[in-house]
Structure 1
Amino acid sequence: MKRMLYKLVLCGSLLALTTAGSSAPSSEVVWNVTTDQKLIALTFDDGPNPVYTPQILDLLKEHQAKATFFVLGKRVQMFPAIAIREVNEGHEIANHTFDHHYLKNVSSEKLIEEIRQTQDIIFDITEQIPHVFRPPGGFYNEALLNMTKEDKLTVVMWSWYQDTKDWKKPGVDKIVHTVLSNVHNGDIILFHDLEGDCSQTVEALKRIIPELKKQGFQFVTVTDLIAKNKSK
């Protein structure tokens, strides 16, 4: 019944989100949002992580901050309670494929199958329908864009200067510096809550979030940030 409802909603009532970001190589892809408001989107790829995603959620809750989690379908199946918590605490759950295949290694058709599989998994577990998708590794082509557009998914990347590369474990200071040294209204910041050790990401967030709050920034979901696009 849930899957049938998902299909009906997807086909009948979802509206495509307006894309933004003048720095994007394609008008179909969001890299950042032009806004005069002090808004930022924190995004986390490749989760949920059973140890570190709950710590990230605790931090976000402490600071009344919202974020967008680009989850893998297989990990939502493994850790459904965390995905449900993300939704229940007001965060956005978004699609990052089922198994993190790069488009350079598989066909667009294979990737869209994974995207649709993950849409079903997320809806079955959380009763939420993702509106946004981020391709693993940032790889996309026109065929993929056309197919995600048909599925009413907006492709969202990240501000090119806000890739923390935290998955490389570059050190907490490096992660903090990447974010704070060149922050702008409408930035989309890339973190990871992937499988393995994400302790540097958690420790960096303990410094990043309070400092950005001190500077007057508010933390919103990607969808809410897109809705603030000044150039619409």
Structure 2
Amino acid sequence: MAPGPGGLTPVFARGPATAGKTVALTFDADMTADQGPRAARGERFDNPALIDTLRRLKVDATVFMTGRWAEEYPDQARAIGNDPRFEIANHSYSHHAFKAPCYGLPTLARPDMAADVRRAFDAFRTAGARNVVPYFRFPGGCHDDEALRALATTRVTAVQWDVVGGDAFATDADAVAEQVLAGVTPGSLVVLHCTRSAAPVTERAIRRIVPELRERGYRFVKVSELMATTGRDPRADLR
């Protein structure tokens, strides 16, 4: 999408209530600058069981992936990015903050922000992922007008959320499920995680969330489909 007023990157946080009983589940595949060596020592930042469960339950979803995650797990990035149930969106290259303070994350300098986003898209292409959409999620969700202006040349849409899953560092899958189930309304966009080390109970929570929302009549869609209900073009060219 083209930049909005003032040259700011547009921000999308949920679909309209007129979208009916649709909900977009999104999963952040985080990997920070210091986690490469930890991965080399055997710590797991992927979550293949979660992806398998989404496939088994026939759930469409959007994965917001960092470039470092794609480089560490290229086979998984390619499999996710070539599965018609999923789309890959951009979560930065190495999960640095675009505004300070932001949960203790190191902060990118403004001149480096657009290049960081492009570097992540390059990592997805190198991995062989095809279903890549021009959406970006700020690490930690932290941003301001300066960050939105800095990303305008990348022609991405910034995607936030209206339902926080609360799965980061959670140990109680039912508590995560209940938080999501309590928050979802027609057109909701839910943020969860696809990182085993930091969100170990997400897969179990999904096994409860999906059937209960389906019982309520909800249909699971990707962010691109949810965004299309607003009349926006969900497939703006990557530039």
TM-score (norm 2): 0.79
Q: Say which is worse superposed, 194-203 or 75-84, in terms of deviation.
A: 194-203
Partner of 1:132 in structure 2? 135
Find the counterpart in structure 1 of residue 16 from structure 2: 34
| Contact kept? 1:192, 1:201, Cα under 8 Å | yes
Is the helix fraction higher in 1 or 2?
A: 1
- The CA distance in 2 between the partners of 1:154 and 1:82, in whole Å, is 24
1:230 CA displacement: 6.9
Retained in 2: the 8 A contact 1:39–1:220? yes
* Residue 206 (str. 1) matches residue 207 (str. 2): yes
Partners of 1:97 and 1:30 lie apart in 2 by 17
Q: Give SS of 1:89's match.
A: coil
- How many residues get paired? 209
Deviation, structure 1 residue 148? 2.6
Q: Is the 8 A contact 2:29 2:194 kept in 1?
A: yes
SS at match of 1:41: strand
Q: Superposition pairs for residues 180-191 of structure 1, below 5 Å? A: 180-191=181-192
- Could you tell me which amino acid in structure 2 is paired with residue 194 of structure 1? T
Deviation >6 Å, runs of 4+: none
2:92 matched to 1:109? no
- Report the Cα offset of residue 213 of structure 1: 1.2
CA distance in 1, matches of 2:54, 2:169: 23
Q: Distance in 2 between matches of 1:27 and 1:39?
A: 25
Aligned partner of residue 33 in structure 1, secondary structure = coil
2:28 to 38, 42, 45: 45
Shift of 1:183: 1.5
Stretches of structure 1 lacking an aligned partner (at least 5 in a row)? 1-15, 20-25
Instruction: Give me the CA root mean square deviation.
Output: 2.6
Letter in 2 for 1:168: F
Name which of 48, 57, 67 aligns with 1:63: 57
Unaligned runs of 5+ in 2: 32-42, 101-106, 234-239
